[in-house]
Structure 1
Amino acid sequence: MEPSARRDGGTAPGTDAPGFPAAAAASAADVAALDARVSGCRACPRLVAWREEAGRVKRRAYLDWTYWARPVPGFGPPDAALAVVGLAPAAHGGNRTGRMFTGDPSGDVLYAALHAVGLASQPTAVAPGDGLTLRGVRITAPVHCAPPDNKPTTEERDTCRPWLARELELLRPTLRAAVVLGGFGWQALLPVLADAGWLLPRPRPAFGHGARVRLRAAGGDGELVLLGCYHPSRRNISTRTVTPAMIRDVLRTAAREAGLPARGT
């Protein structure tokens, strides 16, 4: 793909160039612009091939669906006080519907929990246009494309990092807490938080369900409370490594830290 022209007369990397996320994210003026640019990214060849193949070779239950099969942007208001950070879209979930955690078993658990504590308008997430809205919460991920076996490579994670870094910069005026679903998301998020202006303690905090860390802003203008939560994957739910009640408890704590009203507090 040919590089696109910049306003200064130079060229910006094409959407399939490894440098595209960094260049495109940095100049996104707001969350809406960032989301639009995320959706056009083709910087990781393996992920592009996998997400598009999943959209062609559909699961039998979804043969009548036209898959999104593109990077999935964050979901939720641009002035959220609470962020929920996952891992990556599911091949037949977000990659199918085009919305984070929508249309897969993990999302069924997450949105039911968000609704139970008053942070989502309904307990189900089927597809964009289903009426679901989030209250003070934005859901995002360190990797925006569905990866094979749900395992992005380190290079893919790092290539995708500028999207999340810019998203957190744009959210920073209102963001007060973040719930991280799983150890991969935790490890991926820490350097992004540092880049976005929060001071990380040394040694870096370890992931664990219920872990809670307060991060000060580098400029001294506030803090961010980071909370760990086991990922609501089908395996974790079936083995009761994490239960819906455990997830609700973390979300209630996060809502309180973010200054959001939540049921059951």
Structure 2
Amino acid sequence: MSSATFTTVGELDAALIDCRACPRLVEWREQVAREKRAAFRDETYWGRPVPGLGPVDARLLIVGLAPAAHGANRTGRMFTGDRSGDVLFAALHAVGLANQPTATHAGDGLTLRGTRITSPVHCAPPANKPTPAERATCGGWLRAELMLLAPRAVVVLGAFGWQALLPVLADAGWVIPRPRPRFGHGAHVELAGGTGKTLHLFGSYHVSQQNTFTGRLTPAMLEIVLRAASDAAGLS
């Protein structure tokens, strides 16, 4: 991203959706939007960077890794329209952070309470694997978002998201302990910030089908982490 300074989350989101900084990601997201999946052949894919989802004064931030090719890259909304999102939004609804348990498309009535969902990479990557250079390039958007939101708690979904987020948190002013905190489901680390405010960082296994279909991550496990993060953010 550019070095532009944003004064609101709305300004940031408006600039983000026009980003073309990573040629490989631009080519892939647009190819997927043209070719489509057979089940969605009559739909118009978003095919652009996907902005964060949720209120602009959110105290709890949920961080994934990147949009799914036929999920958020299709619907234009984080975790919307795929099975990973089905698990996440059902859990958010169960703990009182979403008004409904499903998210199928933009305009379906979904609202989040005090919670925003974002990612270190905002374009769908080939094979769901952004490169380190792509993570670094896109990290500026997340850094700007963090500084505008000033959340009290963050839930990171998956080890890759955890690894991508820690340097962004450091750039945004939080103190990362040495050695760096290790990812694990249920991990909880308190980070000191330059403003004197503590950020509660939580880890959860990703809501991927690989984890949820095998039982590595159950709805109950995810809800426990979300409730703890909600408490830490002062939303309970």
Q: Which residue of 2 aligns with 1:228?
A: 203
Deviation per residue, 1:60-81 (Å, 9 max, x gap): 1101110000000000011001
Structure 1 match to 2:221: 246
RMSD between aligned alpha carbons?
0.7
Give runs of ≥4 in structure 1 deviating > 3 Å.
none
Q: Structure 1 residue 29: deviation in Å? A: 1.4
Distance of 1:219 and 1:128 partners within structure 2: 36
Residues 199-238 of structure 1, C-alpha deviations (whole Å, 9 max, x = no match): 1111110000000000011232x10000000001011111
Q: How far apart, in 1, do the equivalents of 2:211 and 2:126 lie?
A: 19
CA displacement at 1:198 relative to structure 2: 0.9
> What letter matches 1:130 in structure 2?
D
Letter in structure 2 aligned against 1:153: T
Cα deviation digits, residues 130-157 of structure 1 (max 9, x gap): 1000000000000000000000000100
1:22 is matched with: 2
| Among 213, 222, 226, the residue aligned to 2:189 | 213
| Structure 2: stretches of 5+ with no match in the other structure | none
Distance 1:219 1:96 in 2: 39
Q: What is residue 34 of structure 1 aligned with on the other side?
A: 12
* SS class of match (2:96): coil
Partner SS for 1:199: coil
| Residue identity matched to 2:66 | A
Q: TM-score, normalised by structure 1?
A: 0.88
Aligned counterparts of 2:219 and 2:195: Cα–Cα separation in 1: 37
Q: Distance in 2 between matches of 1:22 and 1:171?
A: 19
For residue 128 of structure 1, report the CA deviation from its aligned partner. Answer: 1.0
The residue aligned with 1:66 is 44
Q: Which residue of 1 aligns with 2:74?
A: 96
1:141 maps to what in 2? Answer: 119
Query: How many angstroms apart in 2 are the aligned matches of 1:83 and 1:140?
Result: 7
TM-score normalised by L of structure 2:
0.99
Residue by residue over 1:68-126, the C-alpha shift from the partner in whole angstroms, topping out at 9 and shown as x without a partner, is 00000000011001000000000000000000000011000000000011000100001
One-letter amino acid of the structure 1 residue matched with residue 2 of structure 2? A
2:230 matched residue in structure 1: 255
Residue in structure 2 matched with residue 87 of structure 1 by the alignment: 65
Matched residues in 2 for 1:74 and 1:61: separation?
26
Q: Secondary structure at the match of 1:22?
A: coil
Q: Is the 8 A contact 1:22 1:163 kept in 2?
A: no
